[in-house]
C-alpha cells in the first residue's frame, strides 16, 4: 500500500492566537463586480511539510497561493483583502492553509476574522488591472512587503471561462476546540484572464512564514465576478486527518 504524505507540524503549534468563531452564524455576503487576482508559485517541499499540520497532505509540487479581493461596494463597505496560504489537501479535497492575511479596512478585518478565522492585519492592500499587467501589493507601516505582477495576459472565453479557487482553511477557536475552518464562496464569472506571474517584492517573514518563498512561477489569473460568501460548512482537526474522521461537515 502506498504511504500517504502528511505535514510534519504538531497540531499544538497551529493557531496559537486564533480568533474565536461562532459557527452558528448563518448570514451571507454578496459582493458584485468583485476583482479577484490569484497567483501560484512553487516553493520547496521541505518548507511546505514543516508548515503544514499533520492532518493535511502537501500539494505536489509544493506551492502556495496569493489571493487579492477588491470590492468597490459591499455590506461591510468597500475593501481590499489579500491572503497567502500553502496548497494542500484534506483527504482528496484541495485547500489552502492560510498563514497570512491583510485587510484595508477595520470592517473587513473584523468580518473575515470573526466569520472565517482569517489572521487579518490592517494594511495598505492594492490590486489593479492596468493595460499591460495585473498588479497586487501589500504595505505595512509604510513599507511594501509584497508586490506581484502578472503579464502576457490572455482572455479565457467560452464554457471554460472560470477559475478554480481552492478554499481557504484558517485556524480558529470553536466550541469543539481549535479547528481549521473553511471559507465557503461561490462565484459567477463575468471575465477571466490568465498570464505569467512574477514576485518583485516578497518579504516572507512579514507575510507570515519566513520559510515560504517563491521558487518558480506557476500561473496568474484575474477575474471579475459576483461572489457569494456563505457560512462555514466544514472544519478540519489540525491533528486528525480526514481519512481518520478529522474533517467534519457543520449542520445547517
For residue 158, the domain's CATH number is 2.40.400.10
- Comparing CA positions, the residue from 18, 13, 102 lying closest to residue 52 is 13
Residue 118 lies in a domain: yes
Residue 167 lies in a domain: yes
Q: What is the pLDDT of residue 16?
A: 83
- CA torsion 236-239-245-246 (nearest 10°) is -10
* Enclosing domain of residue 80: 28-236
CB–CB of 204/210 below 8 Å? Answer: yes
> For the whole model, what pTM was predicted?
0.95
Residue 12 lies in a domain: no
Is the per-residue pLDDT at 32 higher than 50? yes
pLDDT at 250: 86
Q: Which residue has the higher pLDDT, 137 or 16?
A: 137
Number of domains in the chain: 1
CA 207, 211, 212: angle at the middle one, nearest 5?
60
User: Does some domain include residue 13?
Assistant: no
pLDDT above 80 (res 2): no
Question: Residue written as cell 485556524?
Answer: 171
CA 78 – CA 32 distance, rounded (Å): 11
pLDDT at position 252: 66
DSSP β-bridge partners for residue 173: 20, 178
Confidence grade of residue 1 (pLDDT, cut at 50, 70, 90): very low
186 close to 227: Cβ distance less than 8 angstroms: yes
Q: Tell me the pLDDT band of 23, cut-offs 50, 70 and 90.
A: confident
82 domain residue, yes or no: yes
Question: Is there a domain that residue 250 lies in?
Answer: no
Q: Please state the rounded mean pLDDT for residues 30-43.
A: 98
Q: Is the pLDDT of residue 47 over 80?
A: yes
**154 in a structural domain:** yes
Across the strands, what pairs with 180? 171, 236
Burial 199-226 (b: 16+ CB within 10 A, else e): eeebebebbbbeebbbeebbbbbbbbbe
Residue with cell 516553493: 43
CB 182 within 8 A of CB 249: no
Mean residue pLDDT of the chain comes to: 95
Tens-digit pLDDT profile for residues 198-232: 999 999 999 999 999 999 999 999 999 999 999 99
Q: Is the pLDDT higher at 3 or at 87?
A: 87
In this structure, is residue 251 part of a structural domain? no
Look at residues 88, 86, 132, 82 and name the one whose alpha carbon lies nearest to residue 102: 82
Q: What is the pLDDT of residues 55-106, one digit of tens each?
A: 999 999 999 999 999 999 999 999 999 999 999 999 999 999 999 999 999 9
pLDDT the model gives residue 24 = 83
Q: Are 53 and 210 in contact (CB under 8 A)?
A: no
The three cell numbers of residue 84 are 497567502
Return d(Cα 50, Cα 252) in angstroms, integer.
34
**pLDDT beyond 90 at 173:** yes
Amino acid at each position: 500500500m502506498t504511504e500517504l504524505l502528511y505535514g510534519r507540524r504538531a497540531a499544538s503549534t497551529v493557531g496559537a492566537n486564533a480568533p474565536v468563531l461562532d459557527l452558528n452564524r448563518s448570514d451571507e455576503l454578496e459582493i458584485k463586480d468583485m476583482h479577484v487576482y490569484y497567483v501560484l508559485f512553487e516553493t520547496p517541499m521541505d518548507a511546505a511539510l514543516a508548515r503544514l499540520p499533520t492532518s493535511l497532505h502537501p500539494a505536489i509540487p509544493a506551492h502556495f497561493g496569493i489571493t487579492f479581493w477588491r470590492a468597490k461596494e459591499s455590506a461591510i463597505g468597500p475593501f481590499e483583502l489579500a491572503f497567502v496560504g500553502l496548497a494542500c489537501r484534506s483527504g482528496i479535497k484541495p485547500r489552502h492553509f492560510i498563514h497570512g492575511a491583510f485587510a484595508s479596512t477595520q470592517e473587513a478585518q473584523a468580518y473575515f476574522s470573526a466569520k472565517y478565522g482569517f489572521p487579518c492585519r490592517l494594511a495598505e492592500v492594492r490590486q489593479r488591472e492596468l493595460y499591460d499587467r495585473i498588479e497586487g501589493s501589500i504595505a505595512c507601516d509604510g513599507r511594501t512587503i509584497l508586490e506581484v505582477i502578472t503579464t502576457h495576459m490572455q482572455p479565457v472565453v467560452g464554457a471554460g471561462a472560470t477559475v478554480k479557487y481552492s478554499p481557504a482553511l484558517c485556524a480558529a477557536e470553536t466550541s469543539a476546540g481549535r479547528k481549521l475552518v473553511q471559507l465557503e464562496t461561490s462565484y459567477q464569472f463575468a471575465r477571466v484572464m490568465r498570464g505569467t506571474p512574477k514576485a518583485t517584492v516578497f518579504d516572507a517573514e512579514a507575510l507570515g512564514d519566513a520559510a515560504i518563498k517563491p521558487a518558480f512561477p506557476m500561473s496568474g489569473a484575474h477575474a471579475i465576478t459576483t461572489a457569494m460568501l456563505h457560512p462555514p460548512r466544514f472544519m478540519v482537526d489540525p491533528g486528525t486527518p480526514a481519512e481518520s474522521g478529522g474533517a467534519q461537515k457543520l449542520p445547517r
